[in-house]
Amino acid sequence: MAAAGCCLLLLLPWLVTASRSPPGCKIRITSKGLDLVKQEGLRFVEQELQNITVSDLHGKEGQFHYNISQVKVTDLQLAFSDLHFQPQQHLAFNINNASISLRFRRQLLYWFFYDIGSINASADGVHIHTVLQLTKDKAGRLKISNMTCNASIARMHAGFSGTLRKVYEFLSTFIITGMRYLLSQQICPSLEHASLVLLNSVLDTVPVRNDVDEHIGIDYSLLRDPVVSTDTLDLDFKGMFFHRASENQELENHAVEPVIKETERMVYVAFSEYFFDSAMQAYFQAGVLAIELEGEKVPKDLEVLLRATFFGTIFMLSPAVDAPLRLVLQASAPPRCVIKPSGTSVSVSAFLNISLVPPGRPAVQLSSMAMETKLSAKVFLQGKALRVQLDLRRFRIYSKQSALESLALFSLQAPLKTLLQLTIMPIINGR
């Protein structure tokens, strides 16, 4: 038993590490980014406080019977508000020295005298302190799992008018004290319902898997609870693309976790190699990492190079030497991405098949070559879409059929690389 316990203790750190899958995408929201969120949060709080429901207030003082009903909020002044991070998983929202204007219906019975009308009141020095706990639900959505709230009203006053004004002023202590208590008791329940029910119901509608195009989709569910510091909120997303025809298949994530150290801007987004590898794996499974050019679509400079060099001899051996040319460039394995401080690169292995396509007859394959390329990648945002600009850096081509043909292709490496960069790469980047 002791030996088993020791083994378990030795394995425990490894098990914890293995169960923590690194994110493919990390988003950081800084304190500066909260300034935009604060305005939306303030509007949300105003809307909820304007719809607050206060119970009727009724009582008796000697021969006076009074009833206060139909309490409505007529105006809000939320001049001082603050939204900030609170470690480890919280957002704190404070409203200080706010003012709430009210209007309610009054009824007074004194012996045989009955009075009815409305009263305007104001609650000043309103302080509201709320703390939201942010977590991840089972589906990977962001959730508000808990909320703490404290509300207080420093003072409240009402303006009375009419023939029984003196009577109301006599009862004002009871009425105002009761109204202040009822109002302060309704602020937090209203905000808690808005956060835990209404806001969570909106978060429930946010999808965690979505289609990118007709071929692939993306899973951007949260992997773990948000991590909150005094200045930042970090969200770890799965960031995995998948082939829509086999969306339950997952590519194992062995990439290094993306790291964000900066806090100067409002929002930061970081991607790991896994994010791009899963996208290229999904497109490879969908069979779309291929380009076919035939006839007039083949760049003229490239066709001239192929017909005038070593391939010209092969063309002459075919009866269909004057037939249109067909080039098929297809990835032979999923491309792989490498991210380094010096830049991002993509390694691609592909086949280049060269054929002649005489009209009305089967295509005649002349050569099948293997290509190994290394491309530099520049990732940027274009509108709301993430775009990748590729640039050919390294290029090697060899024959799949014979060593002699590979030797003959050696002299074509440089000019073919140049033509591919000028003619084929714009087509790839355009897609």
Q: pLDDT tens, 273-308?
A: 999 999 999 999 999 999 888 888 888 887 777 777
Report d(CA 271, CA 275) in Å as an integer: 6
Pair (55, 193) in one structural domain? yes
What is the helix (H) or strand (E) element at residue 274, kind and residue range? helix 273-286
Report d(CA 153, CA 158) in Å as an integer: 14
Report if residue 278 sits inside a domain: no
Confidence of residue 168 (pLDDT cuts 50, 70, 90): low
| Largest distance between two CA atoms of the chain | 122
Pair (65, 187) in one structural domain? yes
Pair (197, 62) in one structural domain? yes
Report if residue 422 sits inside a domain: yes
DSSP labels, 287-355: T--EEEEEGGGS-HHHHHHHHHSHHHHHHHTSTTTTSPEEEEEEESS--EEEEETTEEEEEEEEEEEEE
Q: pLDDT tens, 367-410?
A: 788 888 888 888 777 776 778 888 888 888 887 776 767 776 77
Judged against a pLDDT cut of 90, whether residue 170 lies above it is answered with no
Residue 298: per-residue pLDDT:
82
Report if residue 35 sits inside a domain: yes
Confidence of residue 165 (pLDDT cuts 50, 70, 90): low
Report if residue 65 sits inside a domain: yes
Judged against a pLDDT cut of 60, whether residue 39 lies above it is answered with yes
Q: Are 240 and 221 in contact (CB under 8 A)?
A: no
Judged against a pLDDT cut of 70, whether residue 19 lies above it is answered with no
Pick the closest to residue 66 from 157, 173, 187, 159 (CA basis).
173
Report if residue 213 sits inside a domain: no
Question: How many structural domains compose the chain?
Answer: 2
Q: The domain that contains 147 carries what CATH number?
A: 3.15.10.10
Pair (198, 333) in one structural domain? no
- State the average pLDDT over residues 337-359: 88
Pair (26, 138) in one structural domain? yes
Domain boundary among 185, 204, 223: 204
Identify the DSSP state of 262.
Answer: -
Which 3 state secondary structure label does DSSP give 416?
Answer: helix
State CA 242 to chain mean position distance: 17
Confidence of residue 167 (pLDDT cuts 50, 70, 90): low
Pair (195, 311) in one structural domain? no
Confidence of residue 9 (pLDDT cuts 50, 70, 90): very low
Report if residue 11 sits inside a domain: no
Report d(CA 286, CA 372) in Å as an integer: 21
Report if residue 218 sits inside a domain: no
CA distances from 31 to 28, 164, 267, 284, 401 (A): 10, 54, 9, 40, 61
Report if residue 118 sits inside a domain: yes
- The token duo for 314 is 């092969």
Residue 265: per-residue pLDDT:
93
Report d(CA 285, CA 259) in Å as an integer: 29
Pair (294, 149) in one structural domain? no
The winner for highest mean pLDDT among 118-122, 156-160, 239-243, 310-314 is: 239-243
Confidence of residue 14 (pLDDT cuts 50, 70, 90): very low
Q: Are 150 and 129 in contact (CB under 8 A)?
A: yes
Q: Which domain holds residue 344?
A: 289-430
Q: The domain that contains 375 carries what CATH number?
A: 3.15.20.10
- State the average pLDDT over residues 173-195: 85
Domain boundary among 187, 204, 221: 204
Judged against a pLDDT cut of 70, whether residue 136 lies above it is answered with yes
- The token duo for 405 is 């043909």
Domain boundary among 204, 238, 268: 204
Pair (61, 172) in one structural domain? yes
Report d(CA 162, CA 394) in Å as an integer: 91
Residue 17: per-residue pLDDT:
42
